[in-house]
Amino acid sequence: MNQLATITSKRQLTIPASIYYYLNLKKGQRVLVGVKKKKIIIQPAADSVEELAGSVSLPTRFKRKNVNQIIKLAKKEYFRNKK
């Protein structure tokens, strides 16, 4: 399913509605953006976590937390250590 889209002067790209609904994306949802063979790849962040599940051991402090809680805690720890 290919759709035409335009990149704005602020380097922003709007996902066409048909693709947005087809992929069941939600407002405010986190996505990962990457490049593979000179193509932009966008995927829900939760998909990446599920792909990695079991291959990386989860630190105890992150257990029983959802992805957004883990990201928030990791950022807090990162910036606390930068001081």
Q: What distances in angstroms separate CA 36 from CA 12, 22, 49, 75, one per listed residue?
A: 19, 22, 18, 27
26 lies in the same domain as 62: no
Maximum CA extent, the chain = 47
45 lies in the same domain as 64: no
The per-residue pLDDT string of the chain (83 residues; one tens digit each, 9 = 90 and over) reads 889 999 999 999 999 999 999 988 999 888 888 999 999 988 888 766 656 666 677 788 888 888 889 889 989 888 887 76
The predicted structure's pLDDT at residue 83: 63
The predicted structure's pLDDT at residue 6: 93
4 lies in the same domain as 34: yes
70 lies in the same domain as 31: no
The predicted structure's pLDDT at residue 37: 95
30 lies in the same domain as 66: no
Containing structural domain, residue 78: 57-83
Return the CATH number at 4: 2.10.260
